[in-house]
Structures are given as structure tokens and as C-alpha cells.
Amino acid sequence: MSAKKSIAISGAGLVGSLAAIYLRKRGYDVTVFERRHDMRRSGAEGGRSINLALSNRGIRALEEVGLADELKKVAIPMHGRMMHDKQGKLNSFAYGKEGQFINSVSRSGLNIVLMNEAERIGVQFRFDQRIQKVDFVKTQLFVEGKSGESFDLIIGADGAFSAVRGSFQFTDRFDYEQNYIDHGYKELHIPPGANGSFQLEKNYLHIWPRESFMMIALPNPDGSFTCTLFFPFDGNPSFDVLKTNADVEKFFEETFPDARKLMPTLLEDFNTNPTSSLVTIKCYPWVRNNTLLIGDAAHGIVPFYGQGMNAGFEDCRILNDLLSQHNDNWTTVLPEFQQLRKPDADAIAQLALDNFIEMRDLVADADFLLRKKIEGKLYELFPDKWIPLYPMVTFMDNMRYSDALRTGQKQKLIMDEVMKTPNLENTWQQLNFPAIVNQLTAAS
């Protein structure tokens, strides 16, 4: 197959727009089809702008397309977790070493930067285009109310409920899973204080861990925080049983008293903002003929590792790398991309599910915090040999998610044994740290 000339991308979201930039820079004619209005003209549609955690894997891709500096200016570094207990007592925990942090960024702000850049370099955007189906054999895209349009390549970057993937589902031997967790989420709001000040510590991701559920908050540049309550749909407590304003009021005052004081619009937000569900999506293959799925369309994950966007951006970077390696020979690149990337997509899906339990429950557990402290010490002493799971996933943009998962599993087994040491809380600094690290290298 010769190099593709024309590429259609479904989805002008974060991943679709970044893919468009990468591919336009390689010289392709790129057209992006978006179901929604142009968010730059009708900002209101998506509702309140929400924030996302941008970390090294995502930043690396933005650096490659020359946008990292612009985005770092509006990003707010978060150096660690700040846990809030029921008495409002705070307990913070760094994500990695000095200088390692994740970034709170506005989803819509980032998306607008990407769309503007894509358009600047010659990508065409077509909005209000509802994709009906793909003809894989003819590489044709069918938009509602129009006849099919032919391209050399079609990329589905249209998210967890991808229309392009819908056509994959009508093909034989397409493995597909969508699995919802028992929790939904609702966004809530902490406004800025006087003169745009931050009412919580600015440079943290705040967590109110409550075992079976949690609330988190990320800072925004205007001094506000966007809170997200992750809460069961059914049972007690749950969204189902918080029926009246009095129920909501009482629940927040008892459960999140310090946050409640900072949420003057709690009841309005709770009643107005939707309760959304959380799904993991897996499928395979990601390629049919000349059509490819990337990002959430190929691997939708729950948000608890803050890696959804980062994984999608990494897809774009890896696809671009393979194109460079193989002189834009898509016949080679497409199968190689899916084979390489599928285990990593499965790994981050698992890590994201596991991390919900860590965030909502374990971070409030003394044993768990001691374990983290010991791992932090190992990381400090042997920064190349014992990198804890969170920094491997979040900061090591050269490490595959699947390798991080595997190494993390080995570390867990070793640490399970270490944690059996009697009186560890008082003696942990006397542990034989080199011997612990040697177990990991021996196991590899």
C-alpha cells in the first residue's frame, strides 16, 4: 500500500484533534468530523468546563507537536494527594520525587488549543456531522443525510461511545466488552475565595476518602475547585437514597464537613448537574481494512488513574513513531500498532479500576500509608531500581503500561512480605533496603 493521501478522523475531541495535528504534520490531507457544534463558537454546550489530570505521557506528545509550553502556562501543578478526613484533618502524600507532579488542566481549554493549532496548519473541521457507519471495504464514511465519502484511511477517535466502532460491531469475530462500575459521579463546585484565592491548598489533588465512595477536587486557574463525587448508584448511602435537599445537606455535613462549608451552591449543583456512569470498554481488533480505532474508542477506562487522556495522547505519539519507522507504510503500521498497544490498553484499564479502591479506601489506612512511605524510601535510595507503581504509570513515559503493571505486581508481593515485619511502624527505617530491592531485580 502506498502512503495514504486523505485521512478522515471521527471526533474533534482531545485525541482526535491531536491525531489530526500529528498526521497533518506528516503531510496528509486531514478532515475531522465532529458530531457536536464547534465548542469554540457555542461554549455552553458541553456544560461546565471540567478539568483533567495531564501528566508526562500526555505532555510528551504535546511537546512533540510543539504545544507543551503554551499548555504548561495554564496548567496547575499538583504535587500529591491531600486527604481530608471526616474531622477535616489533612494528610498529604507526594506523587513522586521532588519535581514530579501532575497538572490540572481545563478539558475545553486544552481542546480549543488543539483545534486551533490543527486548523492553523491546514486540518479541515466539519461540525454537526453525525456518523452513521463506515464501509470498511471502500473506506467510506457515511454521515447522516449524505452519501458516502471516500478516504484512504479512517480513524475513529470518537470516544467511549464511538460511532465508528459501531460499524466494527457488525463485523465477524470482533471482541467487545462494556462494563459499568456500581458508582456514578456528579460534579460540584468550590468557588474562589476573596480576590481569586484558592480555598484549599492549590497544588494538590484533594481526596475525601470514605471507603465505599469518595469525593475529589482539582484546582482551576480562577481559584475555584471542581469537585467530583464518586458514589454508588444504589444501596445506602447512594445517589438513590439522597432524595431531598435535606438528605443531601445532612449527608454532606456529616461526610464532608470541611468541603461543605466551601460549597455555597451545593444543593443547586447537586440537583442540576447530571449523575453520570463510568464504563470500561475493551475491544479487538482495532483495525478493519483501512479503518483504525484509537483513544477511548478503542479502550475506554475509568478516570481513577488520571490516564484516559494521557493514554489517548500516547496512542497518537506511538502511531506517529511507527509511521516514521515504517516510512508511512500503513499496511505494516496498522497491525503493528494494535498488537503493540492492546496489552498496554488492557493494563491501564486494570490499573484504573484498582486505583479507585486505593483512592477511596486504602489512602485512609495507616498500614497502606506506611507501605507507601517505605516504597518512597526505596525510590529515594534506588531511583532506577525501585520506582513505585504510581510514578511508573504517571511519570515514566518510556515505560509501557503493561510493564508498569507487571513490575507493580512483583513489588506488591515483595512488600506484602515486608509488611509482615513485627513492630514495623517503629522500625521501618532499619529495614534492609538493598535486600528488598535485590528481590525485585532477581524476580525480573
| 277 lines the binding site for a copy of itself (CB under 8 A) | yes
Residue (176 or 326) nearer to a copy of itself, CB: 176
Residues 6+ apart with CB under 8 A from 290: 4, 136, 139, 151, 152, 153, 154, 330, 334
Secondary element (H or E) of residue 271: helix 266-272
From the CB of 273, what's the least distance to a copy of itself, in Å?
16
Determine the Cα–Cα distance for residues 79 and 97; give it in Å rounded to an integer: 9
144 scored as a contact of a copy of itself (CB under 8 A)? no
Does 339 sit near a copy of itself (CB under 8 A)? Answer: no
Assign 3-state DSSP to the chain and report helix, strand, coil percentages, each to 5.
Answer: 45, 25, 35
The answer to the question of residue 175 lying near a copy of itself (CB under 8 A) is yes
Q: φ and ψ at 226, to 5 degrees?
A: -95, 120
Grouping H, G, I as helix, E, B as strand and the rest as coil, residue 444 is coil
Write a three-state SS string for 49-84. CCEEEECHHHHHHHHHCCCHHHHHHHCEEECEEEEE
Q: Which of 48, 176, 326, 443 binds a copy of itself (CB under 8 A)?
A: 176
Pick between residue 30 and residue 298 the one whose CB is nearest to a copy of itself: 298
Q: Are 388 and 373 in contact (CB under 8 A)?
A: no
179 lies in the site for a copy of itself, by CB under 8 A = yes
Q: How far is the CB of 283 from a copy of itself (least distance, A)?
A: 9
By CB under 8 A, tell whether 98 contacts a copy of itself: no
Is 165 or 189 the residue whose CB approaches a copy of itself more closely? 165
Least distance CB 285 / a copy of itself (angstroms): 11
x/- mask, a copy of itself, residues 213-242, rule CB under 8 A, reads: --------------------x---------
Q: How far is the CB of 121 from a copy of itself (least distance, A)?
A: 37
Q: How far apart are CA 246 and CA 268, in angstroms?
A: 12
Q: For residues 179 and 265, which CB has a smaller minimum distance to a copy of itself in the complex?
A: 179
Which of the stretches 11-19, 35-43, 174-182, 246-254 binds a copy of itself when contact is defined by CB under 8 A? 174-182
Among 128, 144, 177, 247, indicate the residue that binds a copy of itself (CB under 8 A): 177
Of the candidates 73, 89, 173, 420, which one interacts with a copy of itself according to CB under 8 A? 173
Return d(Cα 437, Cα 444) in angstroms, integer.
11
180 is an interface residue for a copy of itself by CB under 8 A: yes
For a copy of itself, give the closer residue by CB, 121 or 241. 241
Alpha helices in 89-238 (DSSP H): 107-120, 163-168
Three-state secondary structure call for residue 149:
strand
Q: How far is the CB of 170 from a copy of itself (least distance, A)?
A: 9
The reply on whether position 384 binds a copy of itself by CB under 8 A is no
The DSSP bridge partners found for residue 86 are none
**Binding residue for a copy of itself (CB under 8 A) from 172, 327, 384, 444?**
172
Determine the Cα–Cα distance for residues 298 and 343; give it in Å rounded to an integer: 12
| Residue 274 burial (10 A CB sphere; 0-12, 13-18, 19+) | exposed
Q: Which is nearer to a copy of itself, 260 or 282 (CB)?
A: 282
Query: CB-based contacts of 424: which residues, under 8 Å, 6+ apart?
Result: 370, 418
Q: How far is the CB of 315 from a copy of itself (least distance, A)?
A: 23
Instruction: Please check whether residue 100 is in contact with residue 391, taking contact to mean a CB–CB distance below 8 angstroms.
Output: yes
Q: Does the protein bind a copy of itself through residue 251 (CB under 8 A)?
A: no
Choose between 59 and 281: whose C-beta lies nearer to a copy of itself.
281
Binding site for a copy of itself (CB under 8 A): 172-180, 233, 277
